[in-house]
Amino acid sequence: MIIRKARSQVAMLIVIGLRPYHVVMSLSIETEFTKLMKCQLPIIAAPMFLVSNVDLVVAVSEAGGVGTFPALNYRPIEQYRDALQAVRARTKKSFGINIIVNKSNTRQRDDLKHALDAGVDLFITSLGSPADVIREAHKNGAKVVCDVTNLEHALKVQDLGADGVVAVGVGAGGHAGPISPLVLVPWLRESLKIPVIAAGGIANGAQIASCLAMGASAVSIGTRFIASKEATVDQAYKDAVVKSTPEDIVMTTRVSGTPAAVINTDYVKKLGTELPLALKLLKDNKHTKKYAVPLIHYLGMKSLEDAGTKASWKTVWSAGQSVGLVKEILPAAEIVAKLASEYQEAVAKMPGVRT
């Protein structure tokens, strides 16, 4: 990767109230991903259910990364269309959306159409075949990267024409993969011809440096942006991210039927992390699976929505192991600037090779 000072920007002093917070040089880190997306930094603000919104997307993209949000964060679909138009009206920089491409998302065709009409630059697909999204996005000149947790799926989406893969490893919030990013990223990189984006447990600039050193072209960061001023979740959720440790994160199938990482609140402990036996039997039965899976997804999304947006004793908060590295709630632009500054410091401190 190549580190450059941005030509049009100089050192900036970020001030909170009257207290100087952080001084950084605005950087440009050139990778396959930044060239692909025409952005300054190889940082994606991951699309997070409930958390990501217009303000967060715009702030991250304007700061040099790529802001994204899940299409299903906005319901009914008219609100989604309005959100797309609002982002495009406030930034000319690249931004993206996440589309769930399995059969449980009956809105996916409309989600794709409205995004293409709005000039979305990046599509992140998950939980299904991205073939339709890749075909239609490429007609518009947009790029598509696909969530993967193993080489088999990565090779399939590469063959379909994907522009990159998001390597979701252990430590990620939501639907985390089973493989350590230390193994997953270089494993995929040595077998693929398209960029690999590291995801899972990343919350500071030193981790970004390590991911790029392993062959990643960018990183996808979610949990760190839950603790942002722009995130549209209850303050208790943000506070929980700041206060939690990696040991407070557990995997549960109660949310969607697929293992997902959440903070181990008192309610989660009471609820348990396994599906009720009746739902599990329905999900595992080939005759009832197509009815059970959408029901499980709906119930899980409702639990997350209730807990994330209002005071509730039913606290099911999605988050990854990087909670242990999140110490404060900051504006999203300052988070991006801090990540870039930490990256630069980490690279500068790396031991040199002596001959």
| Domains detected in the chain | 2-232+328-349 (3.20.20.70), 245-318 (no CATH)
Cα gap 80→87, rounded to integer Å: 11
More confident residue, 266 or 137: 137
Contacts of 187 (CB under 8 A, 6+ apart): 151, 179
| Burial of residue 85, with CB atoms counted within 10 A of its CB: 0-12 exposed, 13-18 middle, 19 or more buried | middle
Interior CA angle at 130 toward 126 and 134, to 5°?
125
Q: Is the preceding omega at residue 259 within 30 degrees of 0, hence cis? A: no
Mean pLDDT, to the nearest integer, of 195-221? 97
Cα gap 144→112, rounded to integer Å: 12
In whole angstroms, give the CA distance from residue 334 to residue 252: 32
The strand pairing partners of 30, in sequence order, are 2
So what's the pLDDT on residue 268? 83
Predicted confidence at residue 13, as pLDDT, reads 37
What's CA 245's distance to the chain center, in Å? 20
3-class DSSP state of 288: coil
pLDDT at 253 over 50: yes
Of all residues in the chain, the percent with pLDDT exceeding 70 is 78
Rounded (5°) CA angle 247-250-253:
175
Q: Is the model's pLDDT at 170 over the cut of 60? A: yes
Q: What is the pLDDT of residue 5?
A: 46
Question: Does an H or E element contain 189, and which?
Answer: helix 181-189
pLDDT (0 to 100) of residue 14: 38
Contact, 173 vs 221, CB < 8 A? no
Which 3 state secondary structure label does DSSP give 101?
Answer: coil
Between 309 and 192, residue with greater pLDDT: 192
Angle at alpha carbon of residue 116, lines to 156 and 41, rounded to 5°: 70
Torsion of the alpha carbons at 175, 331, 61 and 130, rounded to the nearest 10? 10
Q: Token digits for 127?
A: 């939980």
Q: Are 96 and 120 in contact (CB under 8 A)?
A: yes
pLDDT, position 16? 35
* Per-residue model confidence as pLDDT tens digits over 345-354: 999 998 876 6
pLDDT band at 102 (very low <50, low <70, confident <90, very high): confident
Instruction: Report how far residue 145's alpha carbon sits from residue 165's, in angstroms, rounded to the nearest whole number.
Output: 5
